[in-house]
Amino acid sequence: MCLALPALVTELLPDDNAKVNLGGVAKTVSLALVSDVAVGDYVIVHVGYALSVIDPEEAARTLELFAEMGELVPEGTA
């Protein structure tokens, strides 16, 4: 199973890279597979690559669902 997460682009870097915020964690990802990405955009990230740009509302709904799933996992089993 693959898991791709929405991440907020916080900084554009050289060589088709960007800094993103993934749940409070700053990561560097490749933008080689997407175009026209700007600071403030949300991108779907999988294994270090941004796969697509998504709108902020969809990102918020997806992140909310992940938060709800985290609340359902019994403590110590995740």
Q: What is the pTM of this model?
A: 0.81
Domains of the chain by start residue, with CATH: 5-72 (2.30.30.140)
* pLDDT < 70: residue spans in the chain: 1-2, 71-78
Residue 30: the pLDDT is 97
CB contact at 8 A, 55 and 8 = no
Q: Residue 20's Cα: distance from chain center in Å?
A: 7
Residue 48: the pLDDT is 92
Residue 78: the pLDDT is 56
Residue 5: the pLDDT is 83
Q: Can you read off the two tokens belonging to residue 62?
A: 């997806």
Q: How many helices (H) and strands (E) does the chain have?
A: 1, 5
